[in-house]
Structure 1
């Protein structure tokens, strides 16, 4: 019975570790995408102004702010901080919903940015799922 409980705890810790590694890679990809969006807007502002709208800039700045916040919260979560993990879950869910809503708004954003929003929404869905999985696996097992 004791061996079974220890094995369950080791398996839960292993799953949490794998999930956190996935979270770390996902957040790194998000940061790259946020910076890429800003670079794309700078280029488009110089070459095709109609594709670098004020709304697109507003969205890109907000995405960039979260590209600063998410790695900080990820670092806290990797250190075992429960509030860091909770923040990852909340931020992921909020960004998922906001990006889906913005992508659905007719005529507000250029097509290329709608695609970017949908990719970010998919990334945030995965982030939320992984962070919930880690939180669940970190819960103490009642025996």
Structure 2
């Protein structure tokens, strides 16, 4: 995960130097970078809460965090390919983002399934993914 975070930071710095990248693509890279950081922080927070406050680090929270972490690996990979001009990769970024948006909103609305702090994290991820989806739509036009 640390390697992915470093890779995202390098990509963002590269964007600052490389001016040929479109605004929507730049926005997607920043949003996905924030998403990856949120995913990493969530895993770290769950590990700490498992020791300090186990009721806040439920099995459901761990399962959700691990699944979201898998997308945290997949999404930057597809975004990199989209940045190189792959239309299929851009579609994949939009599709992955749409799934993450819907699943996070639906899960956040289910009463009692997740701790309150994780519901806030889910809404944050949904907002980030809404931004990615809008950027994908702008990039395609």
Q: Structures share a fold, TM > 0.5? A: yes
Q: After superposition, what is the alpha-carbon deviation per residue over 1:19-39, rounded to whole angstroms, capped at 9, x for unaligned? A: 000101111110000000000
Per the alignment, residue 36 of structure 1 pairs with 41
**CA RMSD, Structure 1 to Structure 2 (Å):** 1.1
2:51 pairs with 1:49:
no
Question: 2:139 and 2:56 mapped to 1: Cα distance?
Answer: 39
Question: 2:44 and 2:129 mapped to 1: Cα distance?
Answer: 21
Moved over 4 A (4+): none
Give the gaps of 5 or more residues in structure 2.
1-18
Greater C-alpha radius of gyration: 1
Question: 2:112 and 2:36 mapped to 1: Cα distance?
Answer: 26
- Residue 132 of structure 1 and its aligned partner are, at CA, apart by 1.1
2:22 pairs with 1:17:
yes
TM-score (norm 2): 0.85
Per the alignment, residue 69 of structure 1 pairs with 74
Higher relative contact order (CA 8 A, sep 6+): 1
Identify the match of residue 81 of structure 1 among 73, 81, 86: 86
Give the gaps of 5 or more residues in structure 1.
1-13, 137-143
